[in-house]
Structure formats: C-alpha cells, structure tokens
Amino acid sequence: MNTPNPTSSSAAAQPLPRIAVLATGGTIAGAAPDVANTAGYQAGVIGVAQLLAAVPGLDAIARIQAEQVASIDSKDMALALWTTLAQRINTLLAGDDIDGVVITHGTDTLEETAWLLHLAVKSSKPVVMTAAMRPASALSADGPLNLLNAVTLAASGAAAGQGVLVAFNNRIHCARDVIKISTYAVDAFQSPEIGALGWVQDGRVEFQRRALRAHTVDSPFTANGPWPHVEIVTSYAGVSRIAVDALVAAGALGIVVAGTGNGSIHSTLQQALVEAAAKGVAVVRASRVGSGHVMHNGAAKDDALGFISAGTLNPYKARVLLALALARGITDRIELQRVFDTY
Ligand code: SIN
C-alpha cells in the first residue's frame, strides 16, 4: 500500500494531522561531552522541544503537540511508567483533537514498551515509536531522521489500524515482532522471524504487508495495573534451581524461562519449574535464541509438565503478555496457552 507524499500539493490542501509527540528519554535525547562520543553519554537529558527543533520541516507534515512524559534511560523503565504512558496515550487518542501519537524512547527496552502498548492502547489511530542509537550531540546522530520518519508515518493514513509501529532506520516494524539486535549499530532493530512491515523514506510511506494477530482495540488487555509479579529465568549449562525456588518463595505468579534452542530446559531447572507450576505459578517456555518459535509440545511435554509455550515471543515480550493476562485474572494454563496462541 502506497501513500502520497504528505508534503505534496494535493495533501497540502487538507489541514495537517495533529500528532502528539510524547518524549520519554533515551539516547535519542542523550548528550555526550564531545561530538565523536557515541557511547559515553547520558541518556534522556535533552527535552522534547530541543528534539523537535532538530528536525527541520516537521511543521509541514503535522501540527505537533509535544509532551515530556519522562526523561529516563529506558533500562530503568518501570511498570508504573508503562501505566502512565498507556493511560496518557489512551486519553489523547480518545479525544477529537489528536490524530496520532509518536513516542520517543530508549532503544534498550523499546521492544517491551512497544509490545505492551500494542496490547494496551485502545484506539485505531496511529501510534509510532522511535529511538536512536547515537546521542543527539553526536556527529551523524540518527535521532532527527528517525523522528521525522516517525511523524511522517503517524501522519499518514496508512498507519491507522496497524497497532503500535516502530519507525527505525527507515523501516517500519510491528511492535509484536521487533527486537533490538545490535549493541551499537545504527541499524539496531529487526523483526527477525517475520521481517519488517514496510519502509518510510523521503516523506513516503510504503507497507508491504500487515500484522494479522489481534491488538489494540481487539485486545482485552490494559496496562492499568496492579502488575502481577512475573520474572524471567534463563537455562544454561550448569544452571541451578536457586533462582526459581527464590521466586516461588517470594510469591511470583509467573515465570518465563528463556530456554535453549526450541525452549528446552536444563533438567535441574525444569524440575524446579515443574514444582513451581504444580504450586500454581504460570510457567512459560520461551527461547534465548533470538529468532524462531517455541512450539507447544503437547501431551508428552508441556501439558504433562504444566507449561505454556511462548510461540514467536521472545522471553521479554512473553513476560509482558503473561503479566497482562494474569492481571486480567487469567490463570488457567489452557486459557493462558490460548492467550499466547492468539496475541
Ligand atoms: C536507553 O535505552 O534509554 C539508552 C540506550 C538507547 O536509547 O540506545
């Protein structure tokens, strides 16, 4: 699906869309002591007005309403801030005076926030997240072009009804599929199993496909809290059961295991998880591999052991979905498996 260049003369006759830009911090708002420094910077120190001022031509694409929701390094993302962000987006999009939302965010937990919002935003209006790998102070900072592309995408009719999208390095990703795949490269995001949905470049938005799973208005989940205690453990050579036993003792309601390969689990860890599941803890098998899916093993394994399989969700995204489902009161294992098979 192609959309006309929003700066073309035919589009210019229409009033420009009103886009709320919600800033939360991150490297896109980071500053370093000198322009060649792309690692020793402080994230989240530049305000949203300055971010927008660095993007010439934005006012020809949209009427911008800017808000500073937070100023954090996204490694410190908190569940309470997820609630604040989701509620603010829902409030803005429920009104008639905002046509779409752009969120600037750190890259480190962007994939988690994007997936959370994909399920918890209750609007079909465009919601686009973006970020940067280089601080705003750097030579060749990538933030301004990413922000321009994010606003271009949010202002285009093509983004409506597609859930939360991530505009990064000219690509458009679905929030469900996108993950960070590099610690330093400017092309740091991919949707490894499924691929990107399309591109945004030079004012042009092009989708090649749509995500099919239910989201936003077709999802029953909210981010209103309270958030159930759900944690992640990893399977690896020589792993002990200490972490699982401690989580159960601490009252965790859910545990996602980042298994090896197709979600396989070291026998020591598996025994601890079987015992946890028998006590009513929801145990989800995901994979630490980074792409592919974790297949439901059926009667012989998952059903007998009391586990749920995460499909193509990585452990961090599986944790988000498990927390949302538990918060909604879904605790039955078969029902939880249906949730993972649906969203
Ligand atoms: C962060 O996630 O806030 C810092 C790292 C980044 O944005 O690239």
Determine whether the shortest distance from the Cβ of 27 to ligand 1 is under 6 A.
Answer: yes
HEC secondary structure over 36-78:
CCCCCCECCCCCHHHHHHCCCCHHHCCEEEEEEEEEECHHHCC
Determine whether the shortest distance from the Cβ of 74 to ligand 1 is under 6 A.
Answer: yes
Q: What is the pLDDT of residue 197?
A: 98
Instruction: Report the C-alpha gap between 325 and 308 in whole angstroms.
Output: 13
Mutate to test the pocket of ligand 1, among 81, 108, 134, 182 (most ligand atoms within 8 A of CB): 108
Mutate to test the pocket of ligand 1, among 69, 74, 147 (most ligand atoms within 8 A of CB): 74
Q: What is the pLDDT of residue 299?
A: 61
Ligand 1 centroid – CA 131 distance (Å):
8
Ligand 1, atom 1, lies closest to the CA of 106
Determine whether the shortest distance from the Cβ of 58 to ligand 1 is under 6 A.
Answer: no
Ligand 1 centroid – CA 110 distance (Å):
8
The one-letter code for the residue type at 22 is L
Nearest of 323, 336, 92 to residue 225 by alpha carbon: 323
Determine whether the shortest distance from the Cβ of 108 to ligand 1 is under 6 A.
Answer: yes
Low-confidence residues in the chain, pLDDT < 70? 1-12, 299-300
Domain 16-218 has CATH 3.60.20.10: no
255 Cα distance to chain centroid:
20
Strands 171-174 and 179-180: unpaired
Instruction: Report the C-alpha gap between 310 and 3 in whole angstroms.
Output: 35
Determine whether the shortest distance from the Cβ of 130 to ligand 1 is under 6 A.
Answer: no
Determine whether the shortest distance from the Cβ of 106 to ligand 1 is under 6 A.
Answer: yes
Determine whether the shortest distance from the Cβ of 111 to ligand 1 is under 6 A.
Answer: no
Specify the DSSP element, H or E, that contains 274.
helix 267-278
- Domain extent listing, the chain: 16-218, 230-342
Residue 291 token pair: 């792409």
Q: What is the pLDDT of residue 4?
A: 47
Q: What is the pLDDT of residue 45?
A: 97
Largest CA distance in the chain: 66
- Please provide the CATH number assigned to the domain covering 230-342: 3.40.50.40
Which ligand 1 atom sits closest to the C-alpha of 26?
3
Ligand 1 centroid – CA 315 distance (Å):
19
Strands 164-168 and 127-130: parallel
Which neighbouring-strand residues pair with 286?
Answer: 258
Which ligand 1 atom sits closest to the C-alpha of 28?
7
Which ligand 1 atom sits closest to the C-alpha of 131?
7
Give the residue numbers annotated as catalytic, written as ranges.
27, 107
Q: What is the pLDDT of residue 196?
A: 98
Q: Are 16-218 and 230-342 the same fold in CATH?
A: yes
